[in-house]
Chain A
């Protein structure tokens, strides 16, 4: 079956979800690391540095992947694998931070290494989503700038929302790990939604190709 193109509204919605999740995870990052590396500004510095590096790598890889047969299934896979690689932040945080704390005395470098091990992989996968979704939305070169603008607008609004909701409300209502499981669930849901819509579209496409006389018999 040939890949079908996802409706724009779907691509835009899941881009919002990815922007939201990135910042939810980042805002909780400092909270997660504080028991081992303290709450100083350098811990925030480590965290933001690693997120920026991870995103930049993700953009590069996502852009490259979008040149080869861009399709909804790969797109869904980004969300699902980002969710899976976020789980160690919840399950293995102490196991990851403890040896780093013991090996590195300076909390600045301790928090830098901890950030790399905890956040680099899921964040770079989330970074792949932006350029890939631009490709999924663009049908012609003329529109590419317009689409990219719309997409960055929505995903950055998502990031703003994720930052605000997490720091104002989520930490007041839930445990850190509950919020992270929430992010994992939402990412899995977004991935499943893409797969489901893709499935429906392919089914319709296949059905409409069937000649009318065959249907009647």
Chain B
């Protein structure tokens, strides 16, 4: 018993010393600060991991991270989760991504589908600057960024009759929720710019009362959707399409076909089909969010 205790204490001591020794080696260093209209953006590097951080005053929020020695690998599980949309449309030709972040997601899609046209809409010019300067993001003839509000971009695309077959909504960074991107009317505008075989992947909230409101709103516009959560991640993805959802069997077949090509990005696609759930785990009596009623930032705290 005593020996065991000593052993434990010794172990803890060694661990503590090791941690102390390691500490200076992995210290985070702010390598860039960018002023923006919306928030301060910091680029912080820890070892070879470089991260884009919003809202440093209220606790760090890593928006995107990249390993500078292994740029292909996606670090955040929510970034990887966006690839689950490929299980429903495995060969997108025209992709819309709302929210650039560090640009790792568009870069991976551009790498994977070099012939696909990728339109990115990002409201903050400073984010675009930082992505280009520090996160290896580059525009090319098939991949361009529009600095605009996603709502304005989608509405105009709808009027011009443009269609996308893969849409990723990832516009929610930091503390503030853009309320006008959560309403039934916005989702109806998104619907308008979807081709018949298009898939919509929305990175949304998995906590608070807001989860219920958001689920109810998506359900109103799209009917049944896949609710995609991973135990390790605080994110919830809503994945849906205009047609009825495909059976699990077809998702598994597609995952098997696609998984090898996604290996280099670190996307565990084979695990995903079993995580796509259609089970209703929200309070269906909650109110649909509309342009008339969308107090998202007030609902967040409950």
Contacts and interface: CB of A to CB of B under 8 A. Distances in A.
Interface string A86-108: 00000000000000011001010
A213 interface: no
A171 B151 contact: no
Interface string B266-302: 0000000000000000000000001111110011000
B179 A34 contact: yes
Given A35-B291, A175-B293, A102 B159 contact: yes
A36 B152 contact: yes
Interface in A135-161: none
A176 B155 contact: no
A172 interface: yes
A142 B31 CA distance: 63
Contacts of A38: 123, 148-152, 180
A13 to B, nearest CB: 29
A41 interface: yes
A35 B185 contact: yes
Interface in B150-179: 150-152, 155-156, 159, 178-179
B292 A39 contact: no
A27 to B, nearest CB: 12
B123 A36 contact: no
Contacts of A36: 151-152, 155
Contacts of B292: 175-177
A176 B37 contact: no
A41 B37 contact: yes
A69 B242 CA distance: 66
Given A34-B179, A175-B293, A107 B298 contact: no
A99 to B, nearest CB: 12
A177 B152 CA distance: 22
B78 interface: no
Interface residues of B, number: 25
A34 B177 CA distance: 13
A174 B287 CA distance: 12
A101 B149 contact: no
Contacts of A41: 37-38
Contacts of B295: 171-172
B186 interface: yes
Contacts of A37: 149, 152
A40 B292 CA distance: 18
Contact of B151 (A35, A174, A176): A35
Judged by DSSP, the binding face of A is helix
Give the size category of A's interface with B: 20 to 34
A83 B159 CA distance: 34
A67 B10 CA distance: 90
A120 to B, nearest CB: 22
Interface string B130-162: 000000000000000000111110011001000
Nearest to B292: A175
A101 B155 contact: yes
Nearest to B151: A38
Contacts of B290: 175
Interface centre among B156, B178, B179, B292 (most CB of A within 10 A): B292
A93 B186 CA distance: 17
Contacts of A171: 293, 295, 298
A40 B148 CA distance: 9
Contacts of A168: 298
A171 B178 CA distance: 15
A105 B149 CA distance: 12
B159 A34 contact: no
Nearest to A171: B295
Nearest to B291: A35
Interface string B170-214: 000000001110010110000000000000000000000000000
A94 to B, nearest CB: 10
Nearest to B123: A40
B23 to A, nearest CB: 39
A201 to B, nearest CB: 42
Interface centre among B180, B185, B298 (most CB of A within 10 A): B180
A39 B159 contact: no
Interface centre among A39, A105, A171 (most CB of B within 10 A): A39
A39 B149 contact: yes
A35 B293 contact: no
A37 B178 CA distance: 13
9 tightest A-B CB contacts, nearest first: A38-B149, A34-B180, A175-B292, A172-B295, A171-B295, A38-B152, A176-B292, A172-B298, A35-B291
Interface of A: 31, 34-41, 101-102, 105, 107, 168, 171-172, 174-177
9 contacts: A35-B185, A36-B151, A36-B155, A38-B148, A38-B151, A39-B151, A39-B180, A40-B37, A40-B123
Given A39-B151, A171-B293, A174-B293, 5 more contacts: A34-B179, A39-B149, A40-B38, A175-B292, A176-B293
